[in-house]
Amino acid sequence: SSLLGFVLLLVCVLGVCAALYLKVMAVLIHVIDAFTNRPFSGNPAGVCVLPAPAPDDWMQQVAREMNLSETAFLHPMTGGFALRWFTPGVEVDLCGHATLASAFALWETGAASRSKELVFLTRSGPLRCRCCDGWVEMDFPAKPCDPVVPPEGLARALGCELRYSGSNGMDYLVEVEGESILRRLRPDFSALSQMPIRGVIVTDSSDKPEFDFVSRFFAPAVGVNEDPVTGSAHCALAPHWMAKLGRAEMTGFQCSARGGLVKVRVCGERVMLYGQAVLMSRVELVCGL
């Protein structure tokens, strides 16, 4: 009992020290373009590696200050790294590009070895990342969509006819008639923000032979009108296009203004996502906590 008391006291002391350290330290945030091998493309994410947990309101304020689609906050813990994602408006349950950016940041800074698997402990369960010949492999849960009647006003908000509509409880997934229509979409973001769901994935087969499908992702309800490249959306896109094309391995291109490449491989109830990344900048927050 005395040993247990000492251990608990030590944990408390370390927690207090970490909190005091965070209050005076300059916090470093890495800005990384994910799902691309070229600067100024893909999806930029902020990655903030901390020695200990930070207050929720502080993380939300930092994400709002960074004003990126997601800022990731992580700290070491038993079994891996705790990882949370914040948009400028809310915390989200799953984010692919900021997970990719987090793995890339840990490897680039030497905080983790490229030769070993990374485990991120998240609100969506453990997510595993590996370095594979210059690509980041991410093991994510599959999020297949079931066909649904689209909610009233969805087609009007998107500004096009819908060939198919489905939902996985997190997002709507809709197909449109042609890549050119998908690329020209100019949605009514105010109307889309009223939909009772995180976002809308719009997709179609690709006109280019190097890609199997194309997509765009709109999520104004969580503060992101259009996400440049969305890893979590491919957890729905991968099983959807596997059923249509009869292949488990495919290449998707998210044709936002920045654009980004996501390779996918469906493995039962999991989807392997593959992407590259580029370190763009480091931001020092001198305010600390």
Known catalytic residues are 70
> How does DSSP assign 54-106, residue by residue?
--HHHHHHHHHHHTSSEEEEEEEETTEEEEEEE-SS-EES--HHHHHHHHHHH
Q: How far is CA 38 from CA 33, 34, 35, 44, 276, in A?
A: 8, 9, 9, 12, 9
**Phi, then psi, of 277 in degrees rounded to 5:** -155, 160
Sign of CA pseudo-dihedral 269, 277, 222, 64: positive
Q: Which two tokens stand for residue 79?
A: 């079994």
For 234-277, the DSSP string reads: HHHHHHHHHHHH--SEEEEEE-SSS-EEEEEEEETTEEEEEE-E
Contact predicate 163/244, CB 8 Å:
no
Separation between Cα atoms, residue 222 and residue 220, nearest integer Å: 5
Can you tell me which residue has the tokens 């957890």?
Answer: 235
Query: What phi and psi values does residue 14 have, to the nearest 5 degrees?
Result: -65, -40
Cα-based torsion angle of the residue sequence 125, 131, 137, 141 in order, rounded to the nearest 10 degrees: -10
